[in-house]
Structure formats: C-alpha cells, structure tokens
Chain A
Amino acid sequence: MLNIKNLHAGVDQKNILKGINLEVNPGEIHAIMGPNGAGKSTFASIIAGKEDFEVTQGSILLEGEDLSDLSPEERAHKGVFLSFQYPVEIPGVTVTNFIKTAINQTRKAQGLEDMPAGEMLQKIKTVSEMLDIDRKFLSRSLNEGFSGGEKKRNEIFQMAMLDPKLAILDETDSGLDIDALRIVASGVNKLRNEKNAVIVITHYQRLLDHIVPDFVHVLMDGKIVKSGTKELAYELEEKGYDWIKEALK
C-alpha cells in the first residue's frame, strides 16, 4: 500500500530525513519509535503533504501512485489521514460542521454526491458512541478549549468518520489518561480491516499494548536504524535508545 524509498527531506538546507525506506501492506500496523528530534513528526507531516518541507530525494508511493506532487487535500482524498500531535484550534467552526465539510469535499473529489444528511447523522451517532463522545462535544468549536485528551479523541473521531486507507497517528497517546487511551485504542482497533493500514508514531510502548503493531521501527537521526516485531518496543521501553546508538557506532 505505502512504499517509501530512500526518502530524503528537509527544510532550509537542513536535512531531517536522510534516506527512509518503509513498506506498509494492507492490514498491517507499523509503529515508529525514536528519541526526540529524530524526525518522527516530520516524517508523518511529509507523508501528509506539508509544504514546509522539501523532499530532495526518493519517493512516496501510495498504491503505486507517487504522492510527491499532490497537495495535502489530494492525498487526503486518496485516503491518507494524519492524526496530529497538536491538533489546531479553529474557533467558530463546530466539530460536526468541520467533519461534514471534510467528508463532502472528499466525496466531491471522488466524484460522489454529498453524503445525505440522514446518513451523516447516523454515522456521527455510531462513531461518537463507539468512542464514548458526548453529543454536546460535537457542537463545540473544533478543538477550542478542549483538553489534551479531548483533542486526541476528536482526531480519532475524525479518522473514523473519514475511514482512511492509511492512518498515521502522530503521538496520539500523549496527553491521554489510561481510560482515554483504552477508548482511543479500541476505536482504532475497531476500524482496522484487511484493506487499511496504520502507522503509529510514539515515544512509549504503552499505546502499543493496546494497538499491537506487526512491526516496530526505530527512527534515529532521520533514518530507520532498526526494525523488528513488537518485542522491540518492550526492549526500547526497558533500555532506552542509547544501546542502539552504541550498536551503530
């Protein structure tokens, strides 16, 4: 599904990603872990199409199609979803109105009619129940005054509504207490099927107890320096990252 080859990218002459290779197949969950400043969030933003970064080498293919020249919205229309580490507050636009706009713009790009209002309401109802979201929450301004946990839950709500092929969860666990973490994780698990894939970016192994990865990659200094299965996450939790650094020397 996602095929990243020798990806180099940076900003203002500064290289942040220095040759990333990653292959994600449908139905898989990949975890990307790494110390602060390793380039994890940059990597996520680049897949989603953030224009601040310049891709200098390599390619990102989604189902065989090169994403390099596509705008963020075009990538979203093709099924890429990024759950933000720091979701942006947009006062004056309610959660419901925002997601309606996002869904209908995506449908328009795919040559579909607007989602009928009844269907939209039903979907909102189902998803908010699944994520234990109070209906009142949906008529609040997007992320405005939300707690860290509410913001993250709202990201997963949007993910469920948009039903992407590839979901990238950037530090979705930060700011979540254990109960919220369980709800969010179970939401992600319920959305999983053999056709979609998830990339989980995290510092801690904690989230991976709930969203169990097929593969764990360690991103350091702009490169994937080690890959393994979920056991690698436990090892990192226990020993930190220094031993990998040592091993690389």
Chain B
Amino acid sequence: MELKEKFISSFLAVDDYLNEDSVLHDIRSAAIKNFEASGFPTKKSEAWKYTSLKSLLHNDLSIFPRQEATVEFKDVRKYFLHDLDTYKIVFVDGQYSAFLSSTTHEGMDVCLMSSALTKDKYKAVIENYFNKVAPQDGLNALNTAFAKEGAYIYIPKNKEVEKPIEILNFYTGAESSLMLQPRNLVVVEENAQVQIIERHQSLSGHAVVTNALTEVFVSQRAQVDYYKIQNDRPEASLIDSTYVKQDRDSVCSVHTFSLGGQLIRNNLNFYQHGANAMSIMKGITLIEGKQHVDHNTLVHHIAPNCESHQDYKGVYDDNATGVFNGKIYVEKEAQKLNAFQQNNNILISDKATINSKPQLEIFADDVKCSHGCTIGQLDEDALFYMRARGINEKEARGLLMYAFANNVLESVKIPELKKRINRLIALKMGVQIGFDL
C-alpha cells in the first residue's frame, strides 16, 4: 500500500474518536478528501520543482506514535533560551509535555491546541480562525486531517506580552519512522504584541519528518515577531508552512534560521488584507553536506499603502542545495506599495547549488517593487585584506561569512536569541571569533 493510501486508511481509525458534532469533524473530513485528491506534492508542480520529497516519504512512516516517550529536562535544557524567562509550550514526539512546559491563561492564552480544539471556552476563536488562512491541499490538508496538537496562542486587545513564547517540538526516536503533524494557531488582537520562537529538534539519529502548519492572525495595529530556529540533526526533515493574515497598520516579521537538517522546506505566506500593513521576512541559511533548504515565500498585497521586506542570505558548502522562490503578488487595489526582495548567496564549494527565483506579479500601477539576487563566492579582495592584517584564512572566511549574514541578525529583537544565533553560526563556521558581533 502506498503511503498516501496508508494515511487515508489510518484517518478512518482516528475519525472514530472524533465527536461527530464538532466543527472539526467536518473540517477534517473535508481535509482528508482534499488530501486524497491532491496527494503529496511532486516535482511536477512548479512550487516543488527543486525539492523532492520522494526519498522522505517512504511507506514505513506513521502518524501516531505507539508509545509515549519522555525526556529529562537536562537532556533538552540547551535547546531552550535558558538565560531568559519565557513561556514554553513543549511537545515530545507530538505529545504535550506538561512537565517541560510553562503555559499561561492569565490575561491571554498560551496553551495547547488540543484543549483549544475541544473546550467550549475557545470555540468562538477556533470557529473564527482555525483553518481559515492556509489553503487546503496536499500537505496542509494532511496536517489538518491529522493534527491533534500544537501551540495555541491568543493575545487579546492591547496586551503586550512581556516574555517571549517558545514552542519546542522534540523528537526522541523512540519510534523510528514518524511523520509529525504539529499545528499552531496564533491570534493577536488589536494593538497587541507578541514574540514567538519556534524550534523543532530531533534528539536521536533517527529519521523524522515534520509537517508543521502555523496560522497567524495579526489584527489592526498589532505586532508579531516570529523566529524559527531550524538547526536539526542531518537525519531530520521539516516542512514548515506558515500563513499570516494581516489587518491594517499591523506589523509581522518572520526570521528563519536554517542551519541544519536533511531537508527543510519553508512555505512562508503573507496576506495583507488591511492598509499600511508591514510584512518582514528574513532568513539565514547555512548548510553543508547533502543538506537541502528551500524557502518558498509569498506576499499577497491586497490593500493599499503596504510594505513588504524580504532579505534572505544563504551560505552553501559541500553538496548542499538551496532554493529561494519568492513571489510577490500585487492586486490592483494595492496602490502605493513598497515591496522589496533580496536574496544573496555564497557557494563555498564547487558542488553546492542554489536555485533562486524571484517572481513578481503586479496588477497595480503605482507601486515600488524591487528585487535582487546574487550568487557568488566569498570576496577574494576582502579575504586578502583581512589576511594581510594577520587574520588567518579560516578565521577570515568565517568572519566574512558572519559579516555576510549579519544584517539579517540585526533585526532580531531578543538580545539573548541574537546571541544564541550568533554562537550557532560561529560554531557552524568552526571559527573561534573572539567577540560577539
């Protein structure tokens, strides 16, 4: 039996557990039908031209772990931003870990999707927002059909959340072939503010595939800063789909740090429904070996006077492959727009590859759109300059790559996180640079 059929038949098994009356029941039934119709994406589809899931989607994959796994805090401590007080929503093999988490219901909800999906208290929000922005086909439909757990974040009007929220997904390897389906919902009401850090981390050398789906709703004048740390083991793969709907005068930024994993596919989509909205997408990709990272972005400009900024930097070594596919779609009504897209890449090895493809579709006539893409090697003149000052070649290369990626880090608003990413990058470069940039 093919994986697709296997998943569809296992849906029938879960279906029995679901309350027939719930809204969810209909959503999930529709989702599995959509998945049945569309299946997994293949390279035939334009959006997946450079990324093949074929080798990942083998028939042994299963969606539900057969046993519950636990992890000790000491084993995962280093994956938390431990020098900072944060809210934490932690999952181990897709199951909520109350022991590792630190949630809240005081003046907002930072908790679990499973309770949000089942308790009456959250019904109104779920009905208004759940599954309302992510298109329902292929992997999204699969997630919707099966997702039971994830983070649920609801920030009411005028609330400025003082601590960042960490969403951590650990994978233990207790079960060898899991395809996890985490599902997050973030609703930020008018004039509220929140910072979120999301991380997927495999704790063993077992292969795991995560198909994560996050929906973010940013109401008028609200601000969301979302940070994604993707620094997993080389056996772990992640498909991370994020859909952001913005109202007028809102600001949303998503920083994606892709530093490790077998295959990472980021689908990052912004829909600007209100005037004066600002969307910021930044990314640093730093990979080696046979790793593959694909950034697929979309900004859909629907309202006037909006802005979008995209800045993705990539450094590829060995046989690593990268993809940047950035689409800016400007509706006729989206006048006075300022859209900017930049993708700069450095190939360290002759065998590394990057496919960079900007796409602009503009139907408004009074807009400012710019895009630029560069692919190159490290600047030899800069390298000589540094070496002539006594800096060893290895350090000079490291420092240059640091410098190359640095302006993406500048906009990180959580100093502890910035420091952490800096350290991860230095480690990755194998350089001891005697200072924090």
Q: Out of B379, B390, B393, which one reaches A88, CB within 8 Å?
A: B379
B47 within 8 A of A: no
- Of residues 384 to 402 in B, which have CB atoms within 8 Å of A's CB atoms? 384-393, 395-396, 399-400, 402
Q: A50–B385 contact, CB under 8 A?
A: no
For the complex, is A92 an interface residue (Cβ under 8 Å from B)? yes
Q: Which chain A positions have C-beta within 8 A of B380?
A: 52
Set of chain A residues within 8 Å of B403, measured between Cβ atoms = 90-93
Cβ-defined contact, B434 with A73, below 8 A: no
- Is the CB of B73 closer than 8 A to any CB of chain A? no
**Cα distance A215–B391 in the bound complex, in angstroms:** 32
Q: Which residues of the partner chain A approach B392 to less than 8 Å between Cβ atoms?
A: 73, 105
- Looking at the complex, which one of B381, B434, B437 makes contact with A93 (CB distance below 8 Å)? B437
What string of 1s and 0s marks CB contacts (under 8 Å) between B395-435 and chain A?
Answer: 11001101111110000000000000000000000000111
User: Are B390 and A102 in touch, CB under 8 angstroms?
Assistant: yes
Q: Cα distance A72–B381 when bound, in Å?
A: 12
Is B406 a contact partner of A97 (Cβ separation < 8 A)?
no
Q: Is the CB of B437 within 8 A of A105?
A: no
| Residues from chain A with Cβ under 8 Å of B390 in the complex | 73, 76-77, 102-103, 105-106, 109, 162
Q: Is B125 an interface residue (CB 8 A)?
A: no
A87 to B382, CA, bound (A): 9
Using A101-B435, A104-B434 as known contacts, say yes or no to A90 and B382 having CB atoms under 8 A apart.
yes
Q: For the side of the interface on A, what is the size category?
A: 35 or more
Q: How far is the CB of A146 from chain B (nearest CB, A)?
A: 14
Nearest residue, chain A, Cβ from B379: A88
Q: Name the residue of chain A whose CB is nearest to the CB of B385.
A: A88
Contact of B388 among A82, A92, A109 (CB under 8 A): A82
- Considering only CB atoms, which chain B residue lies closest to A84 in the complex? B385
Docked CA distance A130–B385 (Å): 24
Chain B proximity of A50: nearest CB distance (Å): 6
Query: Shortest CB–CB separation between residue B429 and chain A, in angstroms?
Result: 13
Contact A76 B389 (CB under 8 A): yes
Q: How many angstroms from the CA of A107 to the CA of B210 in the assembled complex?
A: 48
Please name the residue on chain A nearest to B408 by beta carbon: A92
Q: Is the CB of A88 within 8 A of B382?
A: yes
Knowing A93-B402, A93-B403 touch, does A100 contact B434 (C-beta < 8 A)? Answer: yes
CB closest residue in chain B, given A75: B388
Write 24 A-B pairs (CB below 8 A) sorted by A numbering. Answer: A45-B384, A48-B388, A50-B388, A71-B393, A72-B387, A72-B388, A76-B390, A82-B388, A84-B385, A88-B382, A92-B437, A93-B403, A93-B406, A94-B437, A98-B386, A100-B434, A100-B435, A101-B435, A102-B390, A104-B434, A105-B390, A105-B391, A105-B392, A106-B390
Report A's interface with B, CB cutoff 8 A. Answer: 45, 48-52, 71-73, 75-77, 80-82, 84, 87-94, 97-98, 100-106, 109, 114, 158, 162
